[in-house]
Structure 1
């Protein structure tokens, strides 16, 4: 039986949810998302109820760099991780 080939290495990725401030225009938000993609980020989801998106960043692109460049447009940046409820 043949198995699917595995990549020689996997890039470590970090996931974040980023929301924009209310005053940020859609054109500016699109430019920021494009810039993040050009740095190696991958937009994995765009939210419709809130002005925001989920992104995966390679380890080489630290979230602090993104905040430094575009933080003036962000309302919130948080790590996207699994949440567990306890009783």
Structure 2
């Protein structure tokens, strides 16, 4: 059984967290961790059960997995910033191509 992270959406009332935990348990899920900084928990349950949580307007469901980072050089960062910052010839933009 895979692990899933269940978190409340920003506009969701806090009570929805307890409802989500109860629903997870009712559907055969086992809560493996409860978070204190964010409103959420990690639950282990079958794939077919997750569909009911994804359709809820109050919670976000994400399968647990390895997190990766992207390494970027200073040159790549400057190129990215310049593509995001429109400029005119009268403005000074240190990362722009003006």
How far apart are the structure 1 equivalents of 2:65 and 2:49?
Answer: 16
Post-superposition offset of 1:84: 6.3
Stretches of structure 2 that go unaligned for 5 or more consecutive residues are 72-98
1:78 is aligned to 62
The RMSD of aligned alpha carbons is 2.2
How far apart are the structure 2 equivalents of 1:56 and 1:48?
Answer: 19
Aligned residues: 71
**What is the SS of the residue equivalent to 1:72?**
coil
How far apart are the structure 2 equivalents of 1:73 and 1:81?
Answer: 22
How far apart are the structure 2 equivalents of 1:25 and 1:48?
Answer: 16
Stretches of structure 1 that go unaligned for 5 or more consecutive residues are 1-12
Q: TM-score, normalised by structure 1?
A: 0.65
1:5 is aligned to none
**What is the SS of the residue equivalent to 1:33?**
helix
Post-superposition offset of 1:81: 1.9
Post-superposition offset of 1:28: 2.3
| Structure 1 runs, 4 residues or longer, greater than 4 Å off | none
Q: TM-score, normalised by structure 2?
A: 0.59
**What is the SS of the residue equivalent to 1:40?**
coil
How far apart are the structure 2 equivalents of 1:29 and 1:43?
Answer: 12
Answer whether contact 2:5 2:43 (CA < 8 A) is retained: yes
